[in-house]
Amino acid sequence: MASGSGTNAQRICEYFADHPSIRVKLILSNKANAYVLTRAQQLGITHHFFDRTTFYNTNSISLMLKAEGISFLVLAGFLWLIPGNLLNAYPGRIVNIHPALLPKYGGKGMYGERVHEAVIKSGERESGISIHYVNECYDEGDIIFQARCAVLPEDTAASLAGRIHELEYEYYPRMIEKIVIGR
């Protein structure tokens, strides 16, 4: 599930393209014009858009996922809180990645450049990524893995984001694999 351009989603799809037991079967987005849907089409992966009403006021997404045989959900830049019906349908089987070292710099509205700006403004000497299970609160699920990088004195939100993206691309697919195979 993604809300934006889908670079992490693409890396995940490519990582699992020839995997013997794990594959990306479906990409969902809450934004009709999100570039992640174009990436999904280019990769030959089934993709769908859904709106807020469908997501929060129906069981349509949960039913679609079950019908497709989806057993594990990965959030890759998905910005909405996951509703209870999906949390109940996939207990302990939804993961997310956050571009900072949680529990700092998480929560509603803390995504993308906003996170990096807050990290720099606070004078942090390091940042990184947090891969965590999803629960009913933004960025508060149990942390599975963190990787760190330095915050340099000359950093801007964009330069820090570049190093954070490299950590995401390196570790998120590998951690997804480890979690799914370990089930």
Active-site amino acid positions: 98
- Report in angstroms the alpha-carbon separations of 138 from 43, 96, 119, 176: 30, 10, 18, 19
- Report in angstroms the alpha-carbon separations of 13 from 57, 81, 110, 150, 169: 29, 23, 25, 28, 11
User: What is the C-alpha to C-alpha distance for residues 119 and 93, in angstroms, rounded to an integer?
Assistant: 29
